[in-house]
Structure 1
Amino acid sequence: MSFVATINPPKPAAEPAVQNDGWMPDMDPTEVRAACLLDGTVTTARLIPALQAAMLTVNGELQAWATEQRTRWGYAALADVPAPQVGGESAQVLRYRRAVHACLQADLAEANRAQDTLPAGMGKEARVLESLQVQMDEHRRRQRWAISDMLGIARSTIELI
């Protein structure tokens, strides 16, 4: 096995923003990469469809709430919904991004679980799969909490013993 390091890694190609439904915010793949700590294994060809799927999932979970915000209260965009401002941005927009990021990371972890590149021998495969499961569970929890925060409902974790 050989490893080639470069002093100046190639710059990634420009990735256009992924447009949303007009009410929820668009997502910038470059910002998503930075926020989710995605490495070079997540190519643009993998990232864009996964990001679109994550956006659709979160949008679907928020559909009834978003419809009420538009029709009953007349808000033209998520950023217009009254919410505290953090760093000059609506807390609701920040929560939406957090939900999409967590959903994306969970989906990517699930995809990695099925790869043929898992280490074999001496129980490594089982340890890696267990680690991936923990990561997926953590991402799904963060997704649920971000959506609960947007909806203004209490977070709860319930487990049968």
Structure 2
Amino acid sequence: MSSFIATAPASTGQAPIANDGFFPELDFAQALATMRQDGTVTPDRLRAALVEAALSVNEELATWQADQQAAGHATLEAVPAPSVDGKSAHVHRYLRAVYCQARAGLIERYRDYDATASGDRQAETMMLAVDDLRRDARWAISDIRGITRTTVDLI
């Protein structure tokens, strides 16, 4: 027996999220598309997750940002980096870090409402994705900072 659960389409008519002036603003519709977020999370909650993720990533990059501004680079886009698809690699990686952090936070807070055994298994699988999303965010931040991607486990 198969089931069909319809979810509401995501709301894309939101204003961009302004950032600190150095880091780029966040386009709500682009975030939705990149994160593959449907309408199960309200626009206000999604906006809050994006804001918190941006604050977290900005904080991790604060020292690096200060160094770049001291070197005369007013924005992330102005920091020398290869360009792909018309954007700085730093901008691509910054947005990846923010979107991964936001998506991980949403998954942690909004487990599936399905209380069946299959719903529980799906929720467990989604929780495993949180680790991957956080890893991707860490790697993007490391790439921006120009440091190696090192993962160390103590035994």
What's the TM-score once normalised by structure 1's chain length? 0.85
The CA deviation at 1:141 is 0.3
Alignment partner of 1:12 is 2:8: no
Q: Which residue of 2 aligns with 1:28?
A: 27
The CA deviation at 1:112 is 1.4
What's the TM-score once normalised by structure 2's chain length? 0.88
* Larger Rg over CA atoms: 1
Paired amino acid for 2:53: A
Cα distance in 1 for residues equivalent to 2:25 and 2:85: 18
The CA deviation at 1:131 is 1.1
The CA deviation at 1:132 is 2.5
Q: Which residue of 1 aligns with 2:78?
A: 80
2:100/2:134 contact within 8 Å kept:
yes
2:82/2:88 contact within 8 Å kept:
yes
Alignment partner of 1:135 is 2:129: yes
The CA deviation at 1:140 is 0.4
Q: 1:3 to 1:63 in 2, by over 3 A?
A: same
The CA deviation at 1:130 is 2.3
Stretches of 4+ aligned residues off by more than 2 angstroms:
2-5, 9-13, 122-125, 127-130
Paired amino acid for 1:55: A
2:97/2:137 contact within 8 Å kept:
yes
Equivalenced residue count is 152
Q: 1:46 to 1:88 in 2, by over 3 A?
A: same
Tell me the SS of whatever aligns to 1:119.
coil
1:118/1:128 contact within 8 Å kept:
no
Equivalent position to 2:153, from 141, 155, 159: 159
Q: What aligned pairs does 1:1-161 form with structure 2 within 5 A after superposition?
A: 12=11, 14-71=13-70, 73-113=71-111, 117-120=113-116, 122=117, 124-125=119-120, 127-161=121-155
The CA deviation at 1:35 is 0.7
- Percent identity over the alignment? 43
Q: 1:57 to 1:4 in 2, by over 3 A?
A: closer
Q: 1:11 to 1:48 in 2, by over 3 A?
A: closer
The CA deviation at 1:128 is 3.2
Decide which moves more: 59-68 or 37-46.
Answer: 37-46
